[in-house]
Every structure is written in C-alpha cells, then in structure tokens.
Structure 1
Amino acid sequence: MPSLTKWRIELISLNNEGCRFYLDHYKPFRLAALEQDPDAFGSTYDREIRFTDHDWLSRINHPLVKTFVAVRLRDRKVLSATSLIGPTSTPGTASNPFQASSEMGDASDHDRHHDRGEASFVSFQVTGVYTLPEARRQGLAKTLAETAIGEAVAYAEQHGKRLELSLTVYTSNTSAISFYESCGFVVSPEGPRESFNPHKKASADEICMHYRKSP
C-alpha cells in the first residue's frame, strides 16, 4: 500500500472552529466507521445517523472528553480517531465510556476533589482507536494511541497522582487486543465479563485492559 499524503495528529478544540470541524469532518468519519465495521463499536449506525447536531456536539463539548484525530492535511479528512475520557477519581472501566462521562459531575468538581488530595490516583479511559481501511498499516493508530496515552501520563505526573488508564474491548476482537498490547496495555486478570448492549439489544464478552508504563 502506498504511503498516505501528509497527515498530523490534532486535538479537536472546544471552540466554534472545533465544533464546525466535528460536524463537517468527524461526524462523517464516525458514521462511515459504524457502517463499515459495526462489530467494532458499542453503538450503531442506525442510532447515530439520527443524532441531531446537539447530540453530536454534546460529546465534543463535554469537559471530560478529549478527542484526538489523525487528519489528512490536503482535505482535512479524518483518517483515525480516539477519545480520552477523564480525569476522574472514580476507579473502574465503563463499557460505554461516553455514557459514563455524561453521568459525571463537571470537571471543576473533579479538580477540587483532586486538590483536596482525597485520592492517590487519577483515572482515564481510552475509547477504541479506529482507523479507516484506506489508512491502515501506516502508523496512524499507534501514533494516535501514544498521543492519548501521553496526555493522561502528563496529567497524572503534573498532579502527583498514580495513573489508572484503561479501555474495554470485545474478546472477539483479537487484532485490537494485540494492538493495545503493543501500546503498553495488559489484559485484566479478572478475565472476560459479559456486557449487555442496549443499543444492539445483545450481550457480548469484553475484557478490560490497563496501561502499564514501561520501566
């Protein structure tokens, strides 16, 4: 496969320009991903195609969600994406991290909680890294994952906290598990757990993976 034209990793900003980019470029990427690889996601194309602009922007505007994208420079097309959710002082990994983030308090409440030193750790969760088929095997996903990981590591170090960074993945998605292992994640010793997906009205086994910083 020939190399892609120039691309770079970007954090979608929480301003008018970022919101416009989210609707014009990220939304088509997300819908294409859901349509092409439905088994890789907890959500569905039929569900999200009905989202209003307000529904879409509620994700990008949430103070605990940072969305990183690999963007092709010549046309601003999103080729790969992931989101980092946190910081929180609540342990555990959610099957649906976007839903979990919407149920949390605002970021200022979490910051005050951290400042009081009530928790010795800080938690982040990475959503699945997805790359369009046309852009795979070019290093985008690895660079994107390392960027999100670096953001979480830097936050924990800055605040003097132990980092708990995790993600969930379906046990059937063996290629994704191998990829996350290559990024420094290890499978939780708890093993698989059954998770009911209300959007698909079905259950599937998933595993939790935790990031272990290399010595």
Structure 2
Amino acid sequence: MAVYSLPKTFASAEKLDPIIERYKGFRLLSLKQSPESFGSSYEREIAFPDEIWIKRVCGPLSTNIIAVAGNSAESEGNKDQERAMLLKEEWLASLTLSGPFDKEAAVAMFKNNMWIESPSIIMDDEVEFYFGLYGMYVAPNARGAGLGVSLVEYAKEKALEIVGGKKTRLVLVVDFDNIGARRTYEKGQFVLNHDYWFDDTRCGRSQRTQSAVMRVDIGGSDNPGKDATS
C-alpha cells in the first residue's frame, strides 16, 4: 500500500486531466457505495460541471490524500512516478485535508463547510493554523487493514509540511455512534472536543443525529513534528 497527495499541477493539462478523472470516478463510487458516510450524495455530485472537479483537485486549500495498492518505494517521491502509480494501481481509500486557515477563516469554514454549529468552541489562541479533515472513505475490499489510520497520519504530516511545522489544529466531524470511525481517529491521537445534534437529511433521513467534533494539535516550537493533543 502507498499513500499520496494528488498533484495540483503538471507541465501539461494532458498529464493532470487523467488524475482528475480518476478522482471523480472514485469519489462518485464512494458516494454510491456508502451514501451514509457523506454529507453529500451521488445524485448531487454526478451533476457537477468539470470546473468543480478541477477545483477540488487543484484548489490551493484542498489536499486530496489517496491510498493505492502497490509499493511506495516504486515512486521514491518522483512526481511523474507518483502519477504513474495513481493511474496504474487500484485506489483503496481517500481523505481530504482542507486548509490552512487562520482563526477567523477557520470559524467560517467549520460553520459553512463542516456544519459545526459552535465553531468558536474549537478555537485556541495558541494555535496558528487550522485544517479540516473530511470525506474519509475506505473501499469495502480494503477495510480492516488500517488504511484509515495511515491516511490520518499522512494528513498530519502534510499539514505540518504546509505550515512549516507551526502549531496547528486538525478538526473533523463524525457521527457520534460511528464507533469504528471514532476509534480510527483516536488512533491518530484525535480527542473529542464536543458533540451536538443536528437535523440529518442524508440519504433521505428525517431524524436528529448526534455528531462528534474531534481535534488534534500538532507542531509548534515546543513540540515540533509531534502530537500536542490536550
């Protein structure tokens, strides 16, 4: 298994376009196979124009992390070889890292894009940057192999790389009763920040659902490269 972040640019569109198409296909498949895991739906996203898919892959505040079958040693960090792996190997899992945001932008992002009702509860004056994690999906044939934990650890490393090791908080939302997902995040040192109830309309639901808001602090001068969860 190898984990990569999708490239945002290549010298030519001909090299990037197949990556965007592969991402689109995997995202739509995940929505079809596990609609209960997402705040969106297959019917909504199948109608997206190309511009939205391009923005999702190439946007400056969006990093898509993909686990593929195969050996990461085959690419050795070479951009073209990573692209070849992403096009050749089966995609097994995905996760999106959104950010970085400063405190003011993070409050808006958590409320508008992650539907956190009380984003100010997550804020900390000592934290310089914030990221959101969302859209985790592991294909049915790859579950139980620890891919979720691998994606989370990669996301933490990527976030620190983006902000130069400064103190950073990663935040996510998961259904409170999704014990498997919560345990995956706990293995990545995420802790419960708070929980809330919301009107759940996913997959035609008409009920109240309890959500868990989880966070992990990483980086900073006192703890570079290590978790600083409290």
For residue 64 of structure 1, report the CA deviation from its aligned partner. 0.5
Equivalent of 1:131 in 134, 138, 155? 138
Match among 3, 6, 10 for residue 12 of structure 1: 6
* Structure 1: gaps of 5 or more residues: 1-6, 101-117
Shift of 1:168: 0.8
2: distance between equivalents of 1:12 and 1:89?
24
| Deviation sequence 1:66-99 (CA, Å, 0-9, x none) | 1110123473321101111111103446266489
Matched, 1:178 2:167: no
SS in 2 for 1:192: strand
Q: Does 1:165 align with 2:178?
A: no
Give the structure 2 partner of residue 84 of structure 1.
97
Cα pair 2:127 2:169 within 8 Å, conserved: no
Residue type matched to 1:86 in 2?
G
TM-score, normalising length: structure 1: 0.75
Q: Does 1:42 align with 2:39?
A: yes
Taking structure 2 as the reference length, the TM-score comes to: 0.70
Sort the Cα spacing of 1:164 and 1:45 in 2 relative to 1 into closer, same or farther, 3 A.
same
CA contact (8 A) 2:126 2:167 kept: no
Gaps of 5+ in 2: 71-84, 117-124, 218-226
**2:16 maps to amino acid:** G
State the aligned residue count: 188
Checking the alignment, whether the CA contact within 8 Å between 1:186 and 1:210 is kept in structure 2 is yes
Distance in 1 of aligned mates of 2:31 and 2:192: 25
Contact 1:167/1:209 (CA < 8 Å) preserved in 2? yes
Instruction: Identify the residue that residue 82 of structure 2 maps to in structure 1.
Output: none
Q: How does 1:57-68 map to 2 (within 5 A)?
A: 57-68=54-65
What is the rounded CA distance, in whole Å, between the counterparts of 1:133 and 1:95 in structure 2? 31
- For residue 19 of structure 1, report the CA deviation from its aligned partner: 3.6
